[in-house]
Amino acid sequence: MASDEKKRQVMRAIIQSGGIEIRDVDGGEEPFVYSSKNRGPGYVDIKGRVGFNKVFDPMVDLLADTLVADKVDFDMIVGMMTGGALPGYRLKQLIQEHIGRPIVYVYQRGARKVGGHGELDTGDRNNPDVVPGIRTLVVEELVNFAVTTCNGVAYERGLGRTVTDAACILCYENPVAIQRLRENHIELHYPISLPEILHFGGQEHLLQSQAVDSYMQFLEDPRAWNESRGFQFYAAGE
């Protein structure tokens, strides 16, 4: 199957499985409230696709294709909890099959474990395959403001690991995130952008064009979208 067709099938599967929801806020529906406290018309749930076999496996397979095409070289994958943990492990399996050698996998918690060794990473303790300077890829399911991505990379670098790349299935292509990644010297690899899948959904009549337009307006200027509708804007992630 051609890579473009594979991507189209994955985007279709994400949308049809409910991975993207857009509300008609101007028509009276309640907006989504994000962790930043800001409101918006759309919500993307890539991590929830883990429950859909016909969506999850093709999504991660597409990410593996992207990393192979980009010639990203690494010996260990760090899956960021919670959304990147399972895609990261499946990615390890796919890349191993492609390159014919083992890839180490660990996952990084959102906060240090209480009790035990108080670890943040799980899978590296007393692991002879985790050598100093090991080339490491940080994996998430999606990237919006890239705060967790940059924090995850910084932690791995602090442990003496070589990290120049990160990966995700879907990227918002948020200008704030792009600048933050650049400042932290991280190259992000991903097969699908949010504007791309929204455009595809509208074009294929999988998403209502009016809803897509509203979400695109929000993405272009979240502050203006919120304030023009009487919502307070919180400069989270900036």
- Output the pLDDT for position 35: 75
- Output the pLDDT for position 116: 44
139 in Cβ contact with 167 (< 8 Å): yes
Q: What is the mean pLDDT of each run of 10 residues along the chain (238 residues)?
A: 84 98 92 87 96 96 97 98 96 97 94 53 96 98 92 96 98 90 98 97 94 91 91 74
Task: Read off the pLDDT of residues 173-187 as tens digits, 9 standing for 90 and up.
Answer: 988 889 999 999 999
143 in Cβ contact with 190 (< 8 Å): yes
164 in Cβ contact with 186 (< 8 Å): yes
- Determine the Cα–Cα distance for residues 1 and 70; give it in Å rounded to an integer: 19
Query: Is the dihedral angle over the CA atoms 44, 52, 30, 83 positive or is it negative?
Result: negative
- Output the pLDDT for position 113: 41
Best CA proximity match to 42, nearest among 232, 201, 238:
201
Q: Which pTM does this prediction carry?
A: 0.91
Task: Read off the pLDDT of residues 101-151 as tens digits, 9 standing for 90 and up.
Answer: 999 999 998 754 434 455 799 999 999 999 999 999 999 999 988 989 999
- Determine the Cα–Cα distance for residues 76 and 128; give it in Å rounded to an integer: 12
- Output the pLDDT for position 30: 95
- Output the pLDDT for position 110: 72
- Output the pLDDT for position 236: 56
Token pair for 202: 């509208």
Task: Read off the pLDDT of residues 98-111 as tens digits, 9 standing for 90 and up.
Answer: 999 999 999 998 75
